[in-house]
Structure 1
């Protein structure tokens, strides 16, 4: 999507400087979330990694600092499956305002059995959707304190073939891991779009944007030891897939753009385009 004439063309490898902004990235210690944090740090953003694992968060912050001189990055303990703990997590941010939150963290189970959070919710639905829903509510005073904050929700292609069953949101009657995961991501994306509608109706300065990373594979992702290590064999084996898919460093770019690009508007869905152009730009699609 071309930007307006007053805004420079977007360069995915050189986002505009954003000194002074503060952004929380949930699940920023690994995968796509790590690369969102690294790329935002390179743009001068003060990044807070939300992670339930302090050791992994420490490794991620060390990796970012080794690659980004003078990176302003730190971590807070954040467990989206533990709703009562979210108030403490928000307090530990210790900031006066928040310019954006990237809802990236998630749980994806491949096999039964069905498990629940401590609050009694199916763990994927409870973490991926309900945890971020509750976190947004607690963050809203900090987001509203910023001049034009953004809530960025990470969607997934897994949601495309699913429909929500309003009579079985917790998958008690029909639990199939892949279906339940897809539904949890669909709920997240619905939430992101509906949140923006309600923010606009309330006259809020906060905008909500939905993004998706496209097909992002570990085998196409550059190494960031000890956060992620890619073997030579994995790199060679994934070469054919690179014609259509990409690494998680590239999958992070739509979220980075949704945080930083002044041309992005609330209620939009941003993701990679197909083919080689996916490395240069993101496109807007109907929400």
Structure 2
């Protein structure tokens, strides 16, 4: 339930550690039948939301989830690209049930109306995928004064999750799947300058925004478990996913013959965005997946079929996650739990 940011919810730091959860997950995964990325479990009758589902990895998450028989809602701020993405999915997935909702994650005040537009009594999963990456200064801010990547990639998803929680809680066992990034591995959260107001470096700010998303995902799962909620929170990351290795979808993405040839050497260690979608799709659909887990590519975390992997050490800092949660609640005016 959405509650005022002043509400205090104790962090479930005393819960079983994420690393223990990851170890048990690894043993379950080893005992389970091999996951077939081409034939995931059916999800007829379920409803999923994918933010940023109109392009990139988000588009392929939508395409693959639609093939499972679920109803998939694409969330994006660009109506034209949403229509193109839906047309592409329908052209490739016979009988695909897809629809669109316009949402701007950089504008938290617009999110309640976007959630109302979902027109559903429950939501079985949300994939928090949308994001922006700025390559050059100057530092940019959202309309309410937050650094734009932090505002879009983290704060917008924090607020959206809060507004979605009643719909998620209405499902039997809903999942919040946050799309992380290997760009977060080399960064650290900075409580003294969380939005890079004093030392702005675009690539570092992007990595920190993704680290904030991932820290939020694990703290969300701890708090959901402490509250006895049926909703769970997981992380997925795509490894190294390149446009040059991504198959064409003419209405959404076109890969030239030249780009394909240039991308061939990288294909030994990296992959396309279609494969980059596999961990998120498995985190949504695999009955054995559990809250607090991270799903990524099997080969060095960069490419290959999806698997559960150990929680990254930098994500075990519960103190960082707790202050980030309180800051996010103060800046958005809501809290998911």
Matched, 1:258 2:267: no
Matched, 1:65 2:65: no
**Who is 1:242 aligned against?**
267
Distance 1:4 1:131 in 2: 32
**Who is 2:245 aligned against?**
220
Distance 1:238 1:2 in 2: 35
Superposition misfits of 4+ residues, deviation over 3 angstroms: 1-9, 275-281
**Who is 2:114 aligned against?**
89
Gaps of 5+ in 2: 1-25, 313-337
Q: Which has the higher contact order (CA 8 A, sep 6+)?
A: 2
Relative to the length of structure 2, the TM-score reads 0.83
**Deviation string for 1:104-141 (max 9, x for gaps)?**
00010000111111111000000000000000000000
Root-mean-square deviation (CA, aligned residues, Å) is: 1.6
Moved more, 159-168 or 134-143: 159-168
**Who is 1:25 aligned against?**
50
How many residue pairs get aligned? The number is 287
Given that residues 193 and 209 in structure 1 are in contact (C-alpha distance below 8 angstroms), is that contact kept between their aligned partners in structure 2? yes
**Deviation string for 1:14-50 (max 9, x for gaps)?**
1011101100000000000000000000011100000
Distance 1:68 1:19 in 2: 14
Distance 1:18 1:274 in 2: 27
TM-aligned CA distance change 1:5 to 1:30, over 3 Å? closer
* Correspondence for 2:205 among 158, 174, 180: 180
SS in 1 for 2:135: coil
Given that residues 240 and 303 in structure 2 are in contact (C-alpha distance below 8 angstroms), is that contact kept between their aligned partners in structure 1? no
* Correspondence for 1:111 among 136, 139, 142: 136
* Correspondence for 1:47 among 69, 72, 84: 72
Matched, 1:124 2:138: no
Relative to the length of structure 1, the TM-score reads 0.97
SS in 2 for 1:265: coil
